Every structure is written in C-alpha cells, then in structure tokens.
Structure 1
Amino acid sequence: MSDRQKGLIDALQLVVPQVELRFCARHMHVNFKQKWSGKSFKDVMWKACRAYIKFVFDEAMKEIKDMDESAFNYLMAVDPSHWSRHAFREATKLDCLLNNMCESFNKIILQAKDIPILTTKYIRRLLMKRFLVKQESISQFEGRLVP
C-alpha cells in the first residue's frame, strides 16, 4: 500500500510484477479534495472505497458522476483494484484502505534513514525486538481466543 509516490509504482512493478498494488484511501482523498471538497464529495468517495460489492461501488460512482463528471473521471483514471474493496484480489485476505501501519513503521525508522549501510541492520534489530516483545506477550495468554 502506498501514497502513490512518483516512481514507486514503476519500481515495484519492475522488481515484483506480481505484487498487488493498493493506494491509501486517505492519501487519495487528500488529493481528491484539492479540487472537489465538501462533505458530500468526501462521503461518496469513501463509500466507493469501502464498497465490498461492485453494485455499491457503481452506485457511489454514479453519485459522484451526477455531482461532477470530472470528479468521476479523476477517480476512474485510477484502477479501482488499487483503492476499492470490491476490486481487491480475493487471494489477499486483507481489506485495509489506509496505510496507518506503514506510516507508524516509517516514524519508528526515521532515525535510521540517515545511516546508509547500517539502516537494514538497525531496522532488522528493531523488528526483532518488537517481535520478541509481542511473542512474550502472546505466550502469557491462556485460552482459545486472543484478547
């Protein structure tokens, strides 16, 4: 999942062409509202993002088209498989629309971004520590369901 940063999409498709690309709906909305602002545009755009079935997506997109055809064209220029739940691959069992996890991870590793060769070692240690803390926490749990 990305914020559609220039070059990132091309690089991913070059290195891992089979990867499913998704775009953060919040970032899409930030760009969208620069031209089409207001609660009605926001609500219907998010309705299209959250749609689990094509019918609901189509209804939302028709609403947008009725409000402003250029807004409809703007959204449809981006493949819905990148930003609307109804079009996500079924094999990928995650329906996240936001990249909050990525943003949190980026914040944690900020201090490592200026350390060229050591960056990967720093990030690896950071993740190993985090995984250990989580594993220890989980091992304390008794029962069939996690809290």
Structure 2
Amino acid sequence: MSEKKDQAAENKAIATRDEQAAGGPGRTIIEDTVVTTIAAIAAREVSGVYDMGSGGAISEAVRNRIPGSTMAQQHGVSTEVGETQAAVDISLVAEYGVAIHELAAAVRRNVIVSIERMTGLEVTEVNVTVHDINLDDGDSSEEEDDRPARVN
C-alpha cells in the first residue's frame, strides 16, 4: 500500500514538473536587464576580452538616461528580449595578440549557451563588435616613471 502512495506522489511530482516545463499555470517574465547582465558576465568570462564597451563611457551614460528606451543596456552590451527569443549586441576591447575572429566566436558561443541555459530563451543572434585592442601589458606605467623628463 505504501508503495502505491509513493508511486502516486512521484507521478504527481512528475506531472507538476511537466506542467511547469510546458508553461502550466502562471507565467514567467524575464526582464531585459537580466538577459543583459547574463550576456555581460558571459562575455567577460572569455579569455582575451580586455574590457567591455567602446570607451565612450560618457555618451553611453547619457544614452542610458534617456527615458523610454526599449533596449536594456549595460556597459558594452545591449539586448532585445521577446517572449521566447533574445538578440544581443556586444562591444568589447580585445587583448593584443588574440585571434579576433576566434575571440568573437568564443564570446558568441559563451553568451548563447549562458542565456539559453539560464533563461530558456532562444538566442537568435549575438553581434560582436571589437572596438579596440589593448596594447598595455601592465608594466608600461612603471617604465614611464623611470624615463627622464624630455622637457623642463
């Protein structure tokens, strides 16, 4: 008898999970900003990405304050999100020496996998724009300090 109760409880749990997976009672809304944040983090995870954005921090800050904007934006990432699909635009600065086409493909792949896994949305496109290459190896500021002044 207890086996029948356990089986019935298990069947009910499976049916409930199936209802939720099939969009059963209620609905889930994923805000654009959530998808934008996921895309930004996923892009930064890729080796060879030095920075996000194009360096136009002031113009981007002004654009983000415009009321009525329909696209979610985070430094270097903008998204458009529908009920079942999302599209992403990414702007970044690459590290010197990386193969840019491979970097863009890796960013695209990581963003798609992350968004689809975490939200269930289909990613229709991820456009990657590489605005610059970082030439700084981190030691140049020390070298500049050691140089004698050229003018007095």
* TM-score for both structures, normalised by structure 1: 0.24
Mark the structure with the bigger radius of gyration.
Answer: 2
Q: Which has the higher helix share?
A: 1
* TM-score for both structures, normalised by structure 2: 0.24
